[in-house]
Structure 1
Amino acid sequence: MTRVGYAPGAFDLFHIGHLNLLRHARAHCDVLVAGVVSDEMLELAKGRRPVIPLAERLEIVRHVDLVDDVFVETQPDKLVTWQDVRFHVLFKGDDWRGTAKGDKLERDFAAVGVDVVYFPYTVHTSSSLLRRALALIEGDEWPGAAVGGGS
């Protein structure tokens, strides 16, 4: 059986943390689908629009050799995404492990036979940190630049 993996993310300001997630994910599946969150979903989830628009983020992720296909996430329920993509394993950063969101994700996917696999979160680089650094270089605050959390 071909093992399909799914690695969701914003993939905004593509950086080494994104590459690390895709590299680790690729090693654990036969086919890797990267889920790229829509601009609207990012705004709902994080309270800010991405720096890089969806069409460009899709193009970047689509051309990473580790990725076999991309899927645009337009709603927050990963089980609905699973119904469309039919992956066998979901990959997340280990910053989700042991959280209420991570625990719910594990329960929901256990019910449909999908494994949730965590990989080390790249602490020293995140899109949020890059946003703050860019704001400092520009000499002003970007809307949402102080919002925490990585992508």
Structure 2
Amino acid sequence: MRRVITFGTFDVLHIGHVRILQRARAHGDHLTVGLSSDELNFSKKGRNPIYPFSNRSELLSSMRFVDDVFMEESLEKKRDYILQHEADVLVMGNDWEGKFDEFSDVCEVVYLPRTPSISTTEIIEIIKDVNG
């Protein structure tokens, strides 16, 4: 079995998230998602996610192409997470191109193109503008 792992916040779930997860799963037989904790998201982005971890986890877990979801609590533990979940492939969006090459000694690293013209940050800004 070829095991794939990816990481993200997956807040305000949109078609770009769905497509990258589907394409990540196509790289193997089992897809594990390291889902950023609320605290990790705050430390990365300076804001809490719109939806709490429990809701985001439930949404991802309900997708037929996602086999496992776990809480990513630290960016510094990526190597540990990859090894713990016995991943053969790490898949990330190409906005991270080159940033995870250091893990190529323990798994294949693949960067996938993101869905153009959509981002969680943009959606949140549009909602803020509409609500004044």
Q: Which runs of 5+ in 2 are unaligned?
A: none
Equivalent residue number for residue 108 of structure 2? 115
TM-score (norm: length of structure 1) = 0.83
Question: Percent identity at matched positions?
Answer: 37
**Segments of 4+ moved more than 3 angstroms:** none
1:84 Cα deviation after fit? 2.3
Distance 2:35 2:46 in 1: 17
Summarize the alignment of residues 1-150 of structure 1 with structure 2, pairs less than 5 Å apart.
2-77=1-76, 78-98=78-98, 102=99, 105-106=100-101, 108-112=102-106, 114-139=107-132
Q: TM-score, normalization: structure 2?
A: 0.94
Q: Which runs of 5+ in 1 are unaligned?
A: 140-151
**Structure 1 residue 20: deviation in Å?**
0.9
Deviation at 1:83? 3.0
What is the CA–CA distance in structure 1 between the aligned matches of 2:44 and 2:80, rounded to whole Å?
17
SS in 2 for 1:14: coil
Q: Helix, strand or coil for the counterpart of 2:49? A: coil
How many angstroms does 1:111 deviate by? Answer: 2.2
Aligned CA-pair RMSD: 1.1
Aligned positions, number: 131
User: Which structure has the highest helix share of the two?
Assistant: 2
Name whichever of 57-66 and 120-129 sits farther off: 120-129
Instruction: With a CA cutoff of 8 Å and minimum separation of 6, indicate the structure with the bigger relative contact order.
Output: 2
